[in-house]
Structure 1
Amino acid sequence: MVDEYAFGTNETLKPQDSKKQHILYKIDMNLSGIVSICGMKVLLIKQFAFSNLYNVKFISFPLVEKIGSCAFQNCRSINTASFPRLLSLDDRVFSGCINIETFIAPLLQFVGPYCFENCLNLSDFLAENTRMISSFCFAGTKLLRQFIIENGSTELMPSAFEDSSIEFFHSNIRSLPQRCFANSKLKWLSVPMCREIGSQCFVGLRELHIEAQQLNEQEVSNYFGITQITIYNGTFMQWRQEKPVRRQNSTLSELNLEKDEQQEQILVFVRHANLKQLALQHINQIQRSNDVFTD
């Protein structure tokens, strides 16, 4: 078991190395058979510290505050990761951890790019105080269906949930960046305080249920490809649908594409209902069905 000491090249630093004893560096010794890793006094885990340790199933770092890039990348056997005092994750920390199901970090504030990329079994991300979610954080996930952050000051970077399995997103944030949910599984979006939606935010989606009472105007480019939008608890003050602009010297294939785009209509419905409640009921029903099928 790895204890609270920091590791250098082929040696364990002693407790008297006070300046380094709370920093965990790249593990160079052979830990291929290690199943459990514990660092009771570690405050910082450096980049690549435990990458590619395929047999590690359990990790415990109760005091760690920051984890460097790719620290647990491709640790394919990790099932649960809990960090009660963690504040920051750099890029690709858990990328390729295909069996991680639950991530818990109640104080987490920053999540780096591609942090949970291809975490195929991640279903629970419990970090309600997150302040920033970077690009492609959850790309390639398959089971992460809901994401709820009540914190209105959370900032999403472009493509934060692109290519993810997110079906329901709820937050009091005031803006959604460009391509935020592009090519994702998003169906239910509850952002009651949102005032701005970036370009191509929903590209690749076909249907969307949305609660966003504060929005004044939406450009049709934000909804490119969506054929049906259901708006809950209110409606947009202004709505316009624009036809594609025909370019000069267009090829035959481009003209046919533009013709198809013109035929595609956006259907808008307004419903007075609790979107968050409906979405969670829908997701829970799917989960119960999957559990029955698994049993």
Structure 2
Amino acid sequence: MGYTDQRFDVNLSILFTELPLLERPAAAAAAGFTAVELWWPWIESPTPPQAELDALKKALDDAGTQLVGLNFYAGRLPGPDRGALSVPGQESERFRANIDVAADFAASVGCKALNALYGNRVEGVDPAVQDELALENLTVAARAADRVGAILLIEALNKPESPLCPLVSAPAAIDVVNKVNALTGLGNAKFLLDLYHLSMNGEDLNEVIDTYAAQTGHVQIADNPGRGAPGTGSLPLEDLLDRLAKAGYDGWVGLEYKPGDRPSADAFGWLPN
């Protein structure tokens, strides 16, 4: 098994960013990919004009690339934000305004996975209040995802890079997954298992895989240290993906790594021919 047995997609919000958004699907296709994923592409707008949504759909269709993962609105990403759904006030309202927009766009392109980043703790706000708000918003998002035949992904980030985010371990993210499923009864909330983030937290990756593979809806990878391509760090990514496959995970593996100083098109030399 190993790399040759995986279904890899490329994250167009971290790779090919030297190109305008609408040119990235074709660049990914030229690099040999048939599937892509995205953070929410319109950082400043949770509700972009329909023409912009249509243009991205056309770019995906023209390139022959399938969108397999999309973030809900998550604030400034990349940047200081780590989501919006638990942040009281305007950011939470922007997340709610985005829910149906993101779900409907996902439906229009056949995307079956929507990722909802939790957000940072806010100084002066009771964490319990933020968590209550988060569950309210996540239940709405889960129902919207279910309406379009998609799953809702909950991701654990890493504490060194996201010190204000409370979801910085696999158990913390799984706890939210379980709470959302209990509230909705839909069972469509799943764990986004990002091997880079979990390794940065010092978690036992073999144990995480063995314990949570059945609840995993999507996987993302980058090497550690450096968040570069496989082989640039010390993570045994091929072995870890092999373990995931043996544990029953047969979904997409998103390439969410930095290309380094080279063009993104040159960042895939580690892939089998």
Q: Shared topology, TM-score over 0.5?
A: no
Higher helix share: 2
Normalised to the residue count of structure 2, the TM-score between the two structures is 0.29
Tell me the TM-score normalised to structure 1 length. Answer: 0.28
**Greater share of strand residues, 1 or 2?**
1
